Amino acid sequence: MARPVSRRAGGVDPFIVMDVMAAAAEKEAAGDTVIHLEVGQPSTPAPRAALAAAHAALDGDRIGYVAALGMPALRERIARHYRDTYGAEVSPERVIVTTGSSGGFPLAFLASFDAGDRVALAAPGYPAYRNILAALNLEAVDLPTSAADRFQPTVAALEKAGPIAGLIVASPSNPTGTMVSRAELTALAQWCDARDVRLISDEIYHGIVYEGETTSAVEVSDHAIVVNSFSKYFSMTGWRVGWLVVPDELVRPIERLTQNFFISVPTLSQHTALAAFDGRDELDGHVRRYKANRDLLLAGLPAAGLDRLTPAQGAFYLYADVSHLTNDSRDFCKRMLAEAGVATTPGVDFDRARGAGTLRISFAGSTAEMEEAVRRLKQWRRV
């Protein structure tokens, strides 16, 4: 008899958006056009300066292994980014380059928590947090949030969570695009620091902001772990490069973990990421387009019955309450795709308890696609 799948792997949920993407691909293969509002990635390539650096590295570098914690030049450049962007002094020693932010989560969790520890996080939230936690024998503790608290964790919710070892905060958030203010992040960090709870701040959508200001956890706590990536603002999803900023005492433990898990992060991607910091004009242009897309959808979707939208402060998502239209968001998204040719992500991916009444709309595509999506949805809802 074959050995059964481990309980850890068996407890990991699928990412339902992948099913939507497969159904969309099928529809396209049958000759239909689909407007992709389900994808959580920029529709643009890496900035030109980064691509030039990639070509130069291919021509001039051996592309061998590099130091486990990352190329020194890239760690220094990321540290400088904290001075330039937040006015915060971060030593390059504390910066650890990772394989996307996804590669940073297991390192951060393993360095901070022991099996069985409880880690709090907002619902709705990015599903991989809970799935990675489950795979590491850690317990995800949902903090139910609402539009009133901008779908972000609050100290009041933490007080009710029972004993926890960690808190994950994502601002701007996926799937809502909402943010915590500096005062709120400070209060959360102080609450955590006073109780030896590790704050893990996912800052992957920093740089893609329309309203308000982003605060990095490095500004408000010496004990927090910051997770970030070149995937979103820097438009480099497939290059798989991100970073952590960790407290001094975690550098060496994470170095040992990452040496053994990964040896090093893809070298070509690190050369490319280093030069991405020189592509800011181009990248800021993408952010202006996202803002135009957001404004267009906020203005146009109510006429299609999608009138309960969370106005994103950042990232490129709108979270829609569709509980007046369906009690099965999976089925609703399936019908929207089949009948209107518009792909979105059912809320069950982000909130297992309440996601049957919500969906996520990504506006990372072109403005013409957003216009076409509004046109199609208006027509669909009139049928």
Ligand X SMILES: Cc1ncc(COP(=O)(O)O)c(C=O)c1O
Q: Which residues bind ligand X (CB under 6 A)?
A: 40, 100-102, 126, 170, 174, 202, 204, 229, 231, 237, 242
SS3 353: coil
Nearer to ligand X, 117 or 202 (CB): 202
Nearer to ligand X, 208 or 374 (CB): 208
Q: Which of 337, 338, 340, 301 is nearest to 322 (CA)?
A: 301
In angstroms, give the least distance from the CB of 312 to ligand X.
13
Nearer to ligand X, 101 or 269 (CB): 101
In angstroms, give the least distance from the CB of 279 to ligand X.
17
Nearer to ligand X, 95 or 170 (CB): 170
CA separation for the pair 291, 299 (Å, rounded): 12
Classify residue 314 by its DSSP letter: B
Nearer to ligand X, 99 or 293 (CB): 99
Q: How many CA atoms lie within 13 A of 38 on its CB side?
A: 27
In angstroms, give the least distance from the CB of 229 to ligand X.
3
Omega cis (within 30) before 127: no
CA separation for the pair 360, 174 (Å, rounded): 9
Nearer to ligand X, 198 or 376 (CB): 198
In angstroms, give the least distance from the CB of 111 to ligand X.
18
Give Cβ neighbours of residue 363 (< 8 Å, ≥ 6 apart): 37, 290, 293, 294, 297, 316, 317, 318, 370
Nearer to ligand X, 100 or 166 (CB): 100
Give the CA dihedral 158, 211, 75, 247, nearest 10 degrees: -20
CA separation for the pair 130, 348 (Å, rounded): 13
In the bound state, the residue with its beta carbon closest to ligand X is: 100
Place of tokens 């914690």: 69
CA separation for the pair 308, 325 (Å, rounded): 11
